[in-house]
């Protein structure tokens, strides 16, 4: 377990010097905005709270005290649940009713239906861009774990690069970012982004996944910089602030790259029960990632 020696006051003071009054927009990094005008928003993955692809996730997130929900497309054979205009409408209605935003969308299905090998996955990603635009969201998480893992798979990476190059222009036109979430290193991810060559393809960064691979989280974040479109907050060992992820150092790295935006909780340890554990984690994160900086 990491024991943080930097106080929050010292961390915030250092952050002021690091950002120097300017911060890059989280997922549209060419837009520069005053750092002090923007803080952090906290969301949760709908599957974390047991409401995968369910509009009821909005009401639960409201009870927990969160700003938003990352909505999963769900699983399917030839189609995905969130492709349904009716379900999209229900999510938008629930969002308005409870005052909870749709932080981003996620294609966890790609872990079992790999983007690198399955033609359905290629079609789904293209179609997901239309859904994202219709729902007013800007980020789609593309998952590369399980059967879709790219670690030590050069052939798989080649296919992913080729497919992303085809779909990227559509994402650019729609103003949607495709965020790669994987266990690859920052250097490997940068190579993929360079080969794709589109501002619409970036990195969805999960602090626990990369730490689990033995990478230096702070260094990786700084290396990726503005190519990170959004973050997952996660600790595989305990409640946030009690486990192995040093979120104060994560915040310092975010300050270094000028990141302000969504931090989406993907909890794995729920010793207090799902809702109570998420509320605890959210309260801790608010102390490190406040809504106004």
User: What domains are defined for the chain?
Assistant: 8-283 (3.20.20.150)
What whole-number distance in Å separates Cα of residue 143 and Cα of residue 203?
A: 11
What whole-number distance in Å separates Cα of residue 16 and Cα of residue 293?
A: 9
The pLDDT assigned to 293 comes to 84
What whole-number distance in Å separates Cα of residue 276 and Cα of residue 257?
A: 32
CB burial of 228-264 (b: ≥16 within 10 Å; e: otherwise) equals: bbbbbbbbeeebbbebebbbbbbbbbbbbbbbbbbbb
Q: Which helix (H) or strand (E) element contains residue 107? A: strand 101-107
Angle between helix 247-257 and 274-288 (nearest 10):
50
Q: What's the Cα-to-Cα distance from 165 to each of 66, 110, 124, rounded to whole Å?
A: 35, 18, 15
Sequence-ordered list of residues with C-beta below 8 angstroms from that of 273, at least 6 positions apart, any chain: none
Does pTM surpass 0.95?
A: no
φ, ψ for residue 152, nearest 5 deg: 60, 35
CA dihedral 178, 155, 188, 106 (to 10 degrees): 30
The pLDDT assigned to 224 comes to 98
The pLDDT assigned to 268 comes to 86
Question: What number of other Cβ atoms are within 10 A of residue 138's Cβ?
Answer: 22
SS3 180: strand
The pLDDT assigned to 271 comes to 92
Return per-residue pLDDT of the chain as tens, 293 residues: 333 333 333 333 333 333 333 333 333 333 333 334 489 999 999 999 999 999 999 999 999 999 999 999 999 889 999 999 999 999 999 999 999 999 999 999 999 999 999 999 999 999 999 999 999 999 999 999 999 999 999 999 999 999 999 999 999 999 999 999 999 999 999 999 999 999 999 999 999 999 999 999 999 999 999 999 999 999 999 999 999 999 999 999 999 999 999 999 998 899 999 999 999 999 999 999 999 98
What whole-number distance in Å separates Cα of residue 105 and Cα of residue 280?
A: 24
The pLDDT assigned to 28 comes to 37
Nearest to 289 by CA among 28, 54, 38, 61: 38
Residue with tokens 């000028």: 258
Joined together, the tokens standing for residue 100 give 């909870």
Residues facing 277 on adjacent strands:
none
The pLDDT assigned to 148 comes to 98
């Amino acid at each position: 377990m990491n024991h943080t020696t930097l106080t929050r006051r010292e961390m915030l003071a250092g952050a002021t010097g690091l950002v120097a009054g300017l911060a890059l927009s989280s997922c549209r990094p060419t837009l520069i905005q005053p750092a002090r005008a923007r803080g952090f928003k906290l969301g949760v993955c709908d599957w974390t709270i047991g409401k995968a692809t369910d509009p009821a996730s909005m009401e639960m997130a409201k009870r927990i005290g969160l700003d938003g929900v990352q909505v999963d497309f769900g699983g399917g054979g030839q189609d995905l649940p969130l492709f349904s205009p009716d379900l999209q409408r229900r999510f938008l209605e629930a969002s308005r009713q409870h005052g909870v935003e749709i932080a981003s969308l996620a294609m966890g299905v790609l872990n079992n239906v790999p983007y690198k090998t399955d033609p359905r996955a290629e079609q789904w990603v293209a179609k997901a861009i239309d859904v994202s635009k219709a729902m007013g969201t800007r980020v789609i998480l593309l998952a590369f774990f399980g059967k879709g893992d790219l670690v030590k798979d050069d052939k798989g990476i080649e296919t992913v690069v080729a497919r992303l190059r085809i779909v990227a222009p559509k994402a650019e036109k729609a103003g949607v970012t495709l965020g790669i979430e994987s266990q690859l290193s920052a250097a490997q991810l940068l190579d993929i982004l360079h080969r794709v060559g589109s501002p619409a393809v970036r990195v969805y960064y999960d602090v626990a996944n990369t730490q689990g691979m033995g990478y230096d989280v702070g260094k990786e974040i700084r290396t990726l910089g503005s190519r990170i479109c959004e973050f997952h907050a996660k600790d595989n060992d305990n409640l946030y602030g009690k486990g192995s992820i040093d979120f104060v150092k994560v915040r310092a790295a975010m300050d270094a790259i000028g990141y302000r935006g969504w931090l989406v909780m993907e909890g794995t340890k729920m010793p207090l029960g799902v809702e109570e554990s998420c509320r605890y984690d959210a309260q801790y994160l608010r102390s490190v990632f406040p809504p106004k900086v």
